[in-house]
């Protein structure tokens, strides 16, 4: 294809971008991150998958921009105000995409179109909670939150993330939807905060509460260059591992009450993936949780994202049946004696 034809094709896409183009570019963005990011949209049926891919790609890109250490509080606020205006205009059916605007605005606009076509009003509340979580996250820069404030942030940021995924995926969890979203959301929120603690600290986010500092016997200025080392030395990771594992064990117990084998397997596999850094002895800053075998699956899927979804969706139905780690390790974890941190009480 000549350069002239590529330019013409570009303007055709952006003057009247198709639904397939929007979904495919969102999926492509997710694909070049990691399988946990990409693989989540392979689980729901078609409409749920497409709608989640649009929402997730938008959320992921916005988070990446806000997490940049070079973004000041003022720049973050200005950026979020512009983004929420796009979302509100889309809800009000007044948004117009212009060439030169970021692709994520196309994703957000199409996501909201799908919400109107296929979903109920619960989605609006969750979207607003996720926006508020981004605002709260910005406000906490250079501050140490108390337990209540951190819990509120994790609820809006992580619990609502799972609620959105479950609702968009049209997963039939019955009366257990909210409980599953809460247990998985809080566990993942804590896990991310612990694994990203050094990167977040550089961006002036302090991922430990006032009460936790007291419980661990730490009296240090968060701006101190040895602050993270003190947390580790005082048993921060031992303390968080118990909190996270209790939540994941609860999610596993809830999963066994779900009728659908496919959805039951989804929850069990998520708990295993999230628990893996703890169970494998690598619960340290900078570590990751991965879906084992995911990179190979991602590699064999064709470049055409609509075809890749059809193939990947069928493979995921099989892949989710196999544990990511030995299930017995969950119960064994709580029988292992881990030294308590200074002044740490039973939790």
DSSP for 214-242, written as a single string: HHTT----TTSTTHHHHHHHTTHHHHHHH
CA torsion sign for 230, 286, 324, 316 is positive
Q: What is the pLDDT of residue 131?
A: 93
Of all residues in the chain, what percent carry a pLDDT higher than 70? Answer: 92
User: How many whole angstroms separate alpha carbon 56 and alpha carbon 29?
Assistant: 10
For the cut 80, the answer to whether the pLDDT of residue 182 exceeds it is yes
For the cut 80, the answer to whether the pLDDT of residue 156 exceeds it is yes
CA angle centred on 247, ends 322 and 208, rounded to 5°: 125
Q: Looking at residues 256-274, what average pLDDT do you find? A: 96
Q: Which CATH number applies to 22-333: 1.10.600.10, 3.40.309.10, 3.40.640.10, 3.40.395.10?
A: 1.10.600.10
User: How many whole angstroms separate alpha carbon 287 and alpha carbon 37?
Assistant: 16
Confidence band of 345 (pLDDT split at 50, 70, 90): very low
User: How many whole angstroms separate alpha carbon 156 and alpha carbon 217?
Assistant: 29
Q: What is the pLDDT of residue 2?
A: 45
* 336: exposed, middle or buried (Cβ count in 10 Å: 0-12, 13-18, 19+): exposed
Residue ranges of domains in the chain? 22-333
For the cut 70, the answer to whether the pLDDT of residue 222 exceeds it is yes
Confidence band of 342 (pLDDT split at 50, 70, 90): very low
Task: Give the tens place of pLDDT for each residue, 9-33.
Answer: 444 455 567 999 999 999 999 999 8
Q: What is the pLDDT of residue 14?
A: 52
What is the four-CA torsion angle of 171, 177, 178, 181, rounded to 10 degrees?
-60
| Interaxial angle between packed helices 73-91 and 122-139, expressed in degrees from 0 to 180 and rounded to the nearest 10 | 170
| Distance from chain centroid for Cα 33 | 13
Q: What is the pLDDT of residue 278?
A: 94
For the cut 60, the answer to whether the pLDDT of residue 287 exceeds it is yes
Q: What is the pLDDT of residue 219?
A: 82
Maximum Cα–Cα distance across the chain? 69
Q: Looking at residues 206-219, what average pLDDT do you find? A: 91
User: How many whole angstroms separate alpha carbon 179 and alpha carbon 12?
Assistant: 46
Q: What is the pLDDT of residue 142?
A: 87
For the cut 60, the answer to whether the pLDDT of residue 190 exceeds it is yes
Task: Give the tens place of pLDDT for each residue, 79-134.
Answer: 999 999 999 999 999 998 888 889 999 999 999 999 999 999 899 999 999 999 99
| Closest by CA position to 134, among listed 203, 202, 84, 204 | 84
């Amino acid at each position: 294809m000549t350069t002239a034809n590529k330019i013409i094709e570009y303007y055709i896409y952006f003057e009247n971008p198709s639904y397939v183009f929007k979904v495919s570019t969102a999926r492509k963005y997710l694909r070049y991150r990691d399988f946990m990011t990409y693989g989540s949209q392979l689980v729901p049926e078609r409409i749920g998958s497409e709608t989640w891919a649009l929402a997730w790609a938008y959320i992921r890109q916005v988070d990446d921009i806000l997490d940049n250490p070079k973004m000041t509080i003022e720049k973050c606020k200005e950026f979020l105000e512009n983004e929420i205006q796009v979302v509100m205009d889309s809800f009000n059916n007044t948004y117009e995409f212009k060439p030169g605007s970021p692709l994520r605005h196309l994703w957000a606009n199409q996501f909201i179109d799908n919400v109107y076509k296929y979903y109920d009003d619960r989605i609006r509340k969750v979207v607003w909670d996720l926006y508020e979580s981004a605002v709260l996250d910005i406000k906490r820069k250079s501050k140490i939150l108390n337990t209540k404030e951190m819990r509120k942030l994790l609820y809006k940021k992580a619990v609502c993330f799972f609620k959105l995924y479950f609702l968009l995926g049209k997963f039939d969890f019955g009366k257990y939807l909210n409980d599953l979203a809460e247990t998985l959301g809080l566990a993942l929120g804590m896990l991310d905060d612990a694994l990203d603690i050094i990167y977040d600290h550089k961006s002036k986010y302090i991922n430990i509460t006032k009460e936790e500092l007291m419980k661990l016997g730490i009296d240090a200025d968060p701006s101190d260059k040895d602050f993270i080392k003190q947390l580790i030395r005082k048993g921060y990771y031992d303390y968080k591992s118990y909190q996270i594992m209790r939540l994941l064990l609860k999610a596993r117990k809830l999963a066994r009450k779900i009728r659908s084998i496919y959805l039951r397997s989804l929850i069990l596999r998520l708990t295993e993936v999230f628990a893996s850094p703890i169970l494998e002895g690598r619960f340290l800053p900078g570590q990751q949780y991965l879906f084992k075998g995911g990179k190979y699956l991602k590699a064999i899927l064709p470049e055409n994202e609509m075809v890749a979804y059809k193939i990947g969706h069928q493979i995921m139905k099989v892949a989710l049946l196999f544990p990511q780690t030995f299930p017995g390790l969950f119960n064994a974890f709580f029988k292992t004696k881990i030294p308590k941190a200074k002044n740490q009480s039973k939790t």
